[in-house]
Amino acid sequence: MLYNVVEIQKILPHRYPFLLVDRITDLVKGESIEGYKNISISEPVFQGHFPDHPIYPGVMIIEGMAQAGGVLAFKSMDNASQEEIENKVVYFMSIDKAKFRAPVTPGDKLVYKLTVIKNKGAVWNLDAKAYVDEKLVAQAQLKAMIVDK
**Which one of the listed residues 2, 14, 30, 49 is annotated catalytic?**
49
Of 65, 130, 142, the residue nearest 96 (C-alpha)? 142
> Is 49 an active-site residue?
yes
The residues, any chain, with a CB within 8 Å of residue 64's CB and separated by 6 or more, are 20, 21, 37, 110, 112, 130
The residues, any chain, with a CB within 8 Å of residue 11's CB and separated by 6 or more, are 3, 70, 71, 74, 75, 85
Q: Contact at 8 Å (CB) between 39 and 108? A: yes
DSSP code, position 29: T
Of 18, 7, 149, 32, the residue nearest 91 (C-alpha)? 149
Catalytic residue positions? 49
